[in-house]
């Protein structure tokens, strides 16, 4: 239906809410079955005063594994890393591309400030990656 109408679906997930690895795989499989080509992945950044402020922090290596799972199940999808990137990956942000992502959101998010765009552009230059909009 979506292909006939000229529309495409952009759908992904928010991780770090207590989901299991099987839940992550199931979401990747659902995206695969729906032939989703644009997948934003977000990672919880607990904010003080919210119901999830005490959520267990997702480890950087688990974020990278999650990205890799989506890349394995969706080899042709455009996987973008969005919210929680700075908080979850910290100094390992450049590894998101090695894990299988081919894009990232820069700037601010809905509820928190993002990393300085200059720092993101410098990281992309250091990785010798092409910047496109």
* pLDDT one-digit tens code per residue, 65-86: 999 999 999 999 999 999 899 9
Residue at 93 is within a domain: yes
2 HSE (CA, 13 A, CB side) = 8
- We report the CATH number of the domain holding residue 83 as 3.20.20.70
Nearest to 62 by CA among 81, 30, 40, 89: 89
Confidence of residue 118 (pLDDT cuts 50, 70, 90): confident
pLDDT for residue 54? 93
Per-residue tokens: 122: 């410098």
Residue at 133 is within a domain: no
pLDDT digits (tens, 9 = 90+) for 84-96: 999 999 999 999 9
- Compute CA distances 27 → 12, 36, 75, 108, 128, whole Å: 8, 11, 15, 26, 31
Domain that holds residue 97: 9-126
pLDDT digits (tens, 9 = 90+) for 38-68: 999 999 999 899 999 999 999 999 999 999 9
The one-character DSSP state at 115 is -
Query: Which segments of the chain does DSSP mark as H helices, in order?
Result: 2-5, 21-33, 60-73, 85-89, 95-99, 117-126
Residue at 77 is within a domain: yes
Nearest to 28 by CA among 18, 20, 39: 39
Residue at 80 is within a domain: yes
Residue at 90 is within a domain: yes
Residue at 97 is within a domain: yes
Give the distance, in angstroms, between the CA of residue 40 and the centroid of all CA atoms in the same chain: 5
Residue at 105 is within a domain: yes
Residue at 31 is within a domain: yes
Total domains in the chain come to 1
The residue among 126 and 9 whose pLDDT is bigger is 9
Per-residue tokens: 19: 């989901």
């Amino acid at each position: 239906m979506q292909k006939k109408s000229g529309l495409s679906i952009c759908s992904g997930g928010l991780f770090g809410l207590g989901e299991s690895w099987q839940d992550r795989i199931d979401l990747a499989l659902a995206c695969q079955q729906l032939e989703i080509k644009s997948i934003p992945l977000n990672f919880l950044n607990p904010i003080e005063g919210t119901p999830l402020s005490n959520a267990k922090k997702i480890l950087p290596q688990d974020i990278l594994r999650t990205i890799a799972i989506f890349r394995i199940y969706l080899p042709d999808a455009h996987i973008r890393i969005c919210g929680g990137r700075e908080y979850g990956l910290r100094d390992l942000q450049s590894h998101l591309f090695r894990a299988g992502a081919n894009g990232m959101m820069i700037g601010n998010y809905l509820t928190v400030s993002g990393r300085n765009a200059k720092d993101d552009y410098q990281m992309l230059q250091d990785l010798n990656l092409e910047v496109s909009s």
